[in-house]
Amino acid sequence: MASSNAATDQPVVEGDKYRSHMYGEGEKNTKWRLGAPPNYDAVNKLFEEGRTQEWPKGSLEERVQNLVKTWEMEIVHKVDPADYKTINTTNFTISINGGKPVPLEEVGRIGSYNLFLQTPLPPNLRVYDPSLETSQSASQAFLTTFSRGFAVEILQVYSGPPVIAYKFRHWSFMEGPFKGHAPTGELVEFHGIGIFHMDELMRVKRVEFFYDGNELLASLIKGPSIDGSEASTKASGGCPFFNKVTQA
């Protein structure tokens, strides 16, 4: 049994409450990074327990939230771009804090965490250095830190398609170590602005994100160093545009 996401006309297939294009006839030949569709039970529980908004069924906000979750699932867990349903694979680009647009093949090569945590700081000042990480090592580092996953919610939608602008919140609890820093068990969260540019078939063709990486990384180095040395106070470069746009 399936319902419809009117903002993107995507079916939401029973099996995951918030993400479509994971199960059913249309996914029988999909190549999954881990050999099977991911299980989002733990992060869905984290989301339901920690969200600050519960949008009405069928509202624009709920549809955008499900689109963001589905888009994120596809770009992280589907190996072959031919299996993407929410993305225009021919023209897709993504940019972070007004930086150079990155094409889809490059996103797949470097990994989403490494893309989102790019920084202009010199290497000796970086808490997390994406240039030293692979897609696999980055995913493992954050999976270790956030054992229940990294939940996302939509706080506000400023405009609907074809240009969807929204404010988001990502959060989890630091229940594992991060780059030599002991877990604190505390809430870790950051906020930002996302802009999805949709094509005529309601697929995402361009993404822009604006956020401050400091908001995330500073929370991950609050605990003492595991080897007993003084905790680092280095932080990743922020976005000068961030504080202005998130006040809207």
* pLDDT digits 0-9 by tens, 76-133: 999 999 999 999 999 899 999 999 999 999 998 999 899 999 888 888 888 899 999 9
Q: What is the pLDDT of residues 179-221, one digit of tens each?
A: 999 999 999 999 999 999 999 999 999 999 999 988 899 999 9
Q: Give pLDDT, residue 241.
A: 33
Contact 197/205 with Cβ under 8 angstroms? Answer: yes
Q: Give pLDDT, residue 247.
A: 32
Q: Which two tokens stand for residue 137?
A: 């090592």
Is the per-residue pLDDT at 64 higher than 60? yes
Q: Give pLDDT, residue 228.
A: 58
- Which numeric CATH code is attached to 40-220? 3.10.450.50
How does residue 232 score in pLDDT terms, banded at 50, 70 and 90?
very low
CA 100 – CA 123 distance, rounded (Å): 20
Q: Give pLDDT, residue 124.
A: 86
CA 106 to chain CA centroid, Å, is: 16
How does residue 11 score in pLDDT terms, banded at 50, 70 and 90?
very low
85-100 burial: b if 16+ Cβ within 10 Å, else e: bbbbeeebbbbbbeee
Q: Give pLDDT, residue 14.
A: 52
Q: Which two tokens stand for residue 204?
A: 């995402």
Task: Enumerate the domain spans of the chain.
Answer: 40-220
Q: Going by C-beta distance under 8 Å and a sequence separation of 6 or more, which residues neighbour residue 115?
A: 94, 96, 102, 107, 130
pTM over 0.75: yes
105 CB neighbour count, 10 Å cutoff: 10
How does residue 59 score in pLDDT terms, banded at 50, 70 and 90?
very high
Q: Give pLDDT, residue 213.
A: 87
Is the per-residue pLDDT at 32 higher than 60? yes
- Read off the pLDDT of each residue in 243-248 and give the average, rounded to a whole number: 34
Is the per-residue pLDDT at 236 higher than 70? no
